[in-house]
Amino acid sequence: MESTKFERFSLKPFIIEALKKELKFSEPTEIQERVIPSILNGESVIGQSQTGTGKTHAYLLPLLNKIDTEKKEVQLVITAPTRELAIQIYNEVNKVIPFSNEEITSKCFIGGTDKQRTIEKLRNQPQIVVGTPGRIKDLVQENALIINKVKALVVDEADLMLDMGFIKEVDMVAGQMPENLQILVFSATIPEKLKPFLKKYLANPRFTHVAPKQATAAKIEHVLVPTRHRDKMKLVHDILVSFNPFVAIVFTNTKKKADEVADYLLEKGLKVGRIHGDLSPRDRKKMMKQINDLEFQYVVATDLAARGIDIKGVSHIINYEIPTTELDFYIHRVGRTARAGSSGIAVTLFETSDEDALNKLEKLGVEFVNKDLVGGEWKDLEDRKRRQNRKRVTDDADALAKSIVQKPKKIKPGYKKKMGREMEQIKKRKRRLDRKGK
């Protein structure tokens, strides 16, 4: 079997075998390259990198390498802010551990499941625990989950953990663990409010920031479509039909709007799934399974789905509206497409009031193309900034003309017409000079 570049990390043979046969990774990503040696050395790590860079395996591979199969106790706890992400990480764990000759046990603990049945299953403690902070905290408080010998704690998607108010639970769980704990915090951003938690638990962490070469993946085409007072829902429907995508996700800012858009598209005969926080745990689990089984060509979602949830084969992203709370969510949304080297299209509907947000995204390195869908046909539009510049030139010419042409002291009949003619000549000259200067 051909070799893999992971072999230079001196990982155990079963992990190398899993990499070759199951994960099919031959080369580490930048974040993996930089943090795997530190984690193997027992260092605490803060890893900052954008979505889709291989963060999960950056911590999983070295931590699975350190599991002591002879000790039947909890050695590793991985916390995630959403049930879907916890399940996803748990599934990745279970792709690797079957390759071990000695048994390694893992369990996933998330809200929305029967707590009493979970407690009964904990007569035998698993070596690896993956779950949401609230459920893990409950099990620790019930003395069902024994974490006083844990070697490593992972806080995944820490900024989202903070946004959703779960960092308190993580703090309580970490407080029950040994003092010499190895803590690994992974996050797309490191907000100021997260720093007290980091200071409390990480004495001298290795900080690794993999700055994106671009704000978003290279193979995403970012398309701006002006709404122009049209019916936005009809416009979204027409855009989706024109693309006939493999899978498209339509993002809205609120759960209410997600339901409205999904209901409208369903009425129009499209096969539509939806993901947002108001779905019950059972419905969310069922919906994710249906989406991953490709039962829906279209998914309407809030930003919950933009973080950590891996939906396979997303070819198109439609931003029904630009994120209002955090512009970073734009990056996370469009990061659902163009994964693993494939290409994707991200369409954003915009109004004139979105200009500031669009300028900020452009400063982050997002390059937009301007298009419109007219009668089912895509047409290129001139850059929206050219229109603004033209308007500014006109404004400058007006200001100049007004400053030069003054109202005469002695007013004669027809003075207004004469002033108008003079101002018009000055404006024409100014515009001509501006055009030459470009």
pLDDT tens by residue, 262-289:
999 999 999 999 988 777 777 878 888 8
pLDDT tens by residue, 35-75:
999 999 999 999 987 666 788 999 999 999 999 999 999 99
| 366 and 404 together in one domain | no
What is the average pLDDT across 197-211? 82
Where does a domain end: 187, 209, 231? 209
Query: In this model, does residue 307 exceed pLDDT 70?
Result: no
Q: How many domains does the chain have?
A: 3
How far is residue 128's CA from residue 155's CA, in Å, rounded to a whole number? 14
Query: In this model, does residue 148 exceed pLDDT 50?
Result: yes
| 225 and 285 together in one domain | yes
| 376 and 389 together in one domain | no
Q: What are phi and psi of 124, to 5 degrees?
A: -105, 120
Where does a domain end: 170, 185, 209? 209
| 165 and 245 together in one domain | no
- pLDDT bracket for residue 382 (50, 70, 90): confident
| 158 and 16 together in one domain | yes
The whole-number pLDDT of residue 272 equals: 95
312 falls within a domain: yes
| 121 and 157 together in one domain | yes
Q: What is the b/e burial string over 377-407, where b = at least 16 CB atoms within 10 angstroms of the residue's CB?
A: eeeeeeebeeeeeeeebeeebeeebeeebee
Alpha-carbon distances, residue 265 vs 33, 250, 393, 423 (angstroms)? 44, 11, 43, 54
| 189 and 241 together in one domain | no
| 149 and 11 together in one domain | yes
pLDDT tens by residue, 289-302:
898 888 999 999 98
Query: In this model, does residue 235 exceed pLDDT 50?
Result: yes
The whole-number pLDDT of residue 212 equals: 58
Q: Two tokens at 104? A: 């390694």
The whole-number pLDDT of residue 386 equals: 64
215 falls within a domain: no
pTM beyond 0.85, yes or no: no
118 is in which domain, residue-wise? Answer: 5-209
Residue 342: which CATH number? 3.40.50.300
The whole-number pLDDT of residue 187 equals: 85
412 falls within a domain: yes
